[in-house]
Amino acid sequence: MTDPPSRRDALRLGVAAGLAAAPAGRATAADPPPDPHTPPREFLTRPKDFEDVSRGNPVPHTLKGDALVKARLTPETWRLEVVAEEPATVDKPLTLDLPGLRKLGEAHGVQFLKAMQCNNIARPLGQGLWEGVPLRDVLRLCGKLTNPRRVYYWGFHNDDPKQMFRSSLAVNQVLDAPPGELPPFLAYRLNGDPIPLTRGGPVRMVVPWAHGFKSIKWLQKVVLTNRYDANDTYAEKNNDPESYLKTAAYFDDPKDQAFPAGGPVVVRGTCMVGWPGLDRVEYWLRPAGGKLADDDPAWARAEWKPAAIDPPPADWGGGLPDGVLPKDVWGFTRDGKPREWPLRYSVAHWSLVLRGVAAGRYELRVRTVDRNGFAQPEPRPNPRSGRNQVQAKVVEVKG
């Protein structure tokens, strides 16, 4: 996750006690330039640093040796089975191995940046450059499909149905993504390397627009069905099985923070850019006056001011060679520039560098406004379709 680099960055920015004793407005060697974009933060998460959300006992990624072979979770033993259940049928049920999938990738491969986010956990779990083959191009190998309405799929689950973690998509979502839009795909590379077992390798489903529960790890089975209902494990407990990623801001460090008077108040964080895109990030610094209820009139009087959004990073970090720009990645031009920024379904970084803040205790809130003009937490009817409460923390400037 982003914590360790951000803390390190905060230190480099001179937030550490003692460095900020210079009077406000006069730069010293210890007082950093007012550019909130330096130093760069890592844009991609190393695969091992993703937060893990995995069911199973034992969790599949702890299997070793023969157990791993038996589970068919090694690159050599991995197989994907594609079948249909009556009254849906496929002409040619399919068994695909990893070389077969990679071969398909040579003709149909896609690459794109996506943050993995659980709809029950606020902050994204990590962001990767995922590479794989659209599921539609795998289904094409099955010949004629009759009567399918949904695609059900799951991964290895220790032979115990109770440990099954499964998900589903409408067959239209799989087959009819508009050209140039992101299709659900079978991923076999993450940040340029084979997907490690811990992140669901050898092959993982990745559904670009969806929360993590659609992106099934250790994928082994795809079933075309005539059923119209979602079979998602995550539909239990009032989760919304069709939720799209939402736009929302998060603090790098959600803990309260103290700053010495006279120095800058520097706060950084990330935002998830969901399906509605990101127009801007805003902050509200309010003299602390106890907990603010949802219907407090202070909300209507709030003065939201713009925060800075980091530009595309020059160094993408997280395991790609230094300076490599993902020019072959969805959303980028041939010279490696993003067509829109920040990119949909990715994590963007924001920063606040506030100078001249008078000594005192404040509540700091940061929120996103999406491209439909909805400010977080709107327009959420159901918090279980993605956590996006406006986060708040106390910031104290010590006199």
Ligand X SMILES: Nc1nc2c(c(=O)[nH]1)N[C@H]1C(S)=C(S)[C@@H](COP(=O)(O)O)O[C@H]1N2
Using CB under 5 A as the criterion, which residues of the chain lie in contact with Mo ion when the complex forms? Answer: 53, 118, 212-213
AA letter at 274: G
| H-state helical runs in 49-108 | 65-70, 98-108
**DSSP output for 133-170:** EEHHHHHGGG--EES--EEEEEE--TT-GGG--EEEEE
Tell me how far apart the alpha carbons of residues 33 and 28 are, in angstroms, rounded to a whole number.
9
Nearer to ligand X, 245 or 325 (CB): 245
CA dihedral 141, 146, 152, 158 (to 10 degrees): -70
Question: Which residue stretch of 101-109, 208-216, 223-231, 253-261 sits at the interface with ligand X (rule: CB under 6 A)?
Answer: 208-216
Q: By the 8 A CB rule, do 336 and 325 touch?
A: yes
212 binds ligand X (CB under 6 A): yes
116 binds ligand X (CB under 6 A): yes
Question: Which residue of this chain has its Cβ atom nearest to ligand X in the complex?
Answer: 212
387 binds ligand X (CB under 6 A): no
CB of 225 to Mo ion, least distance (A): 23
Nearer to Mo ion, 365 or 387 (CB): 387
Smallest Cα–Cα separation from 150: which of 71, 235, 66?
235
Q: By the 8 A CB rule, do 165 and 158 touch?
A: no
Question: Which residue stretch of 98-106, 209-217, 250-258, 315-323 sits at the interface with ligand X (rule: CB under 6 A)?
Answer: 209-217
223 binds ligand X (CB under 6 A): no
Per CB under 6 A, the list member of 63, 125, 177, 281 interacting with ligand X is: 125
Mask of contacts with ligand X, 162-201, x by CB under 6 A?
---x---------------------------------xx-
Residues in region 36-95 near ligand X by CB under 6 A = 50-55
Residue 125 interacts with, from Mo ion, ligand X, none (CB under 5-8 Å by kind): ligand X
CB of 327 to ligand X, least distance (A): 26
CB of 370 to ligand X, least distance (A): 22
Nearer to ligand X, 38 or 120 (CB): 120
CA dihedral 65, 72, 166, 170 (to 10 degrees): 150
Nearer to ligand X, 53 or 357 (CB): 53
CB of 100 to Mo ion, least distance (A): 29
Question: Which residue stretch of 107-115, 175-183, 210-218, 266-274 sits at the interface with ligand X (rule: CB under 6 A)?
Answer: 210-218
Strand partners, 151: 169, 224
Residue 50 interacts with, from ligand X, Mo ion, none (CB under 5-8 Å by kind): ligand X
Tell me how far apart the alpha carbons of residues 160 and 42 are, in angstroms, rounded to a whole number.
39
Residue 282 corresponds to which tokens in the numbers above?
């805003």
Tell me how far apart the alpha carbons of residues 303 and 365 are, in angstroms, rounded to a whole number.
11
**DSSP output for 99-142:** HHHHHHHHHH-EEEEEEE--TTSSS--EEEEEEEEEHHHHHGGG
Question: Which residue of this chain has its Cβ atom nearest to Mo ion in the complex?
Answer: 118
CB atoms within 10 A of CB 3: 12
Query: What are the residues binding ligand X (CB under 6 A)?
Result: 50-55, 116, 118, 125-126, 155, 165, 199-200, 212-213, 215-218
